[in-house]
Structures are given as structure tokens and as C-alpha cells.
Amino acid sequence: MPTPRLPQTAWAVLGLLSFPGERTGYELKKWADASLRFFYGAPAFSQIYAELRRLEELGYVTSRRSGPEEPRAKRTYAITGEGRAALDSWAADTDDPGAVSLKHPVLLRVWLGHLAEPERLCALVAEHIEHTEGELSDVREALAKTDGVEAWAHPQIALRWSERRLVAEVELARGMLADLLALRPRQPVTDAPTHG
């Protein structure tokens, strides 16, 4: 049976369920925020639940509602054998997965820098550097949590790639800030006051 054409986000959600155990939509979102967001983007809750419904309709996922003993009812999801087979087939597919899409909102603002105040533009890039350094700290924290966990060997490779990308992003942003600072008009040198 051919693998159905699903959006990449559906495969990402199914992939999150490929690790042992059942998970709620909330737990899947937390996992996505702790790993996928560093290299693919973390889907919103609405996307996760929409994909879970689609995957359940295909028979790739099962769900069960918690019993009355739970203080708050919740639904947990698990991958099925059919879902595992489809995911295996998709992951092993050697067809071109498509081009990497880069949307860099800070760089878009710099590209339109002729319309902005130079000081504000420099501040924007400086804030981006600070934010990226925070992301780098987050990815290193995620790596530390997965250290030595055999089931997370491949996600660790993706997280290490993310760490290298963020290190490069900080370096590139610092270079961009230096370029912006070099564009600023030089202050005119005033003549020294004369006495006498």
C-alpha cells in the first residue's frame, strides 16, 4: 500500500508518537517545543489536534479518554502498527524532501533598512543576537536532558545540528551588526577651541 501524501507536520506529529508511551496533545506540544522548534518549527496546538484527528481517521493513531478516576478528563494518543509502518516508509523514502525554506524576519527588516532609523535597526539586530543566544542555551539544555538516552540518539543529532546552526546565526548576526554600524555616518571632527 503506497504511503499517503500528508503534510510534513502530520509526519512530525506521528514521529513524536513513535517514541515509547502514550501522550496527550499537551505533552506532544511540549515535546515539539523542546525539540522540533529548533530545526523544523513547533506546530501550534490547533495544528497538533488537527493532525491527530487526521491520523486517527487513517488508522495511524488510536486515542483513549481517561476514566472517571482522573480529576480532569484527558485524551491520550498512541501510534498503531499501521502508523508505524507508514512512518517507517516515509522516513526511509529517498525522494527529494524539498528545499530548505528560510524566512528570516530580522534580515527582511535589514533589507528594508533604508526605511528605518539606523539606531533602531542596530537595536533590532542586537535584540536578535540576545534572543538567539537564549535559544542556544535552550537547545543545550535539551541536549543535556537527552544525554545517554538511547531512544534519543537520532534526535540528539538533530539537536547538535541545531546547536551548530544557532552558533553560526549568532556569528552571522554579529557580522550584520558590524556592517550596520559601519554604515552610520561618521561624526564630523570639530576644530579644537583656540585660546588667546
- Residue 152 DSSP label: G
Instruction: Give the span between the Cα atoms of 24 and 7, in whole angstroms.
Output: 21
What pLDDT score does 188 carry?
Answer: 56
Instruction: Give the span between the Cα atoms of 177 and 90, in whole angstroms.
Output: 41
Instruction: At 17, list the grid cell.
Output: 508518537
Planar angle of CA 108, 111, 112, nearest 5 degrees: 95
Contact 91, 158 (CB under 8 A): no
Predicted confidence (pLDDT) per residue in 80-134, tens digit: 999 999 999 998 887 777 788 888 999 999 999 999 999 999 999 999 999 999 9
Q: Coil, helix or strand for 191?
A: coil
- Residue 67 CA to its chain's centroid (Å): 34
The reply to whether the predicted model has a pTM over 0.85 is no
Predicted confidence (pLDDT) per residue in 144-192, tens digit: 988 888 888 899 999 999 999 999 999 999 999 999 999 877 655 555 5
CA distances from 29 to 35, 46, 101, 116, 167 (A): 10, 10, 22, 37, 25
What pLDDT score does 149 carry?
Answer: 85
What pLDDT score does 36 carry?
Answer: 87
Residue type, 176: M
Q: Please determine, for residue 2, whether its predicted confidence score (pLDDT) is greater than 80.
A: no
Q: Across residues 10-25, what is the average pLDDT?
A: 93
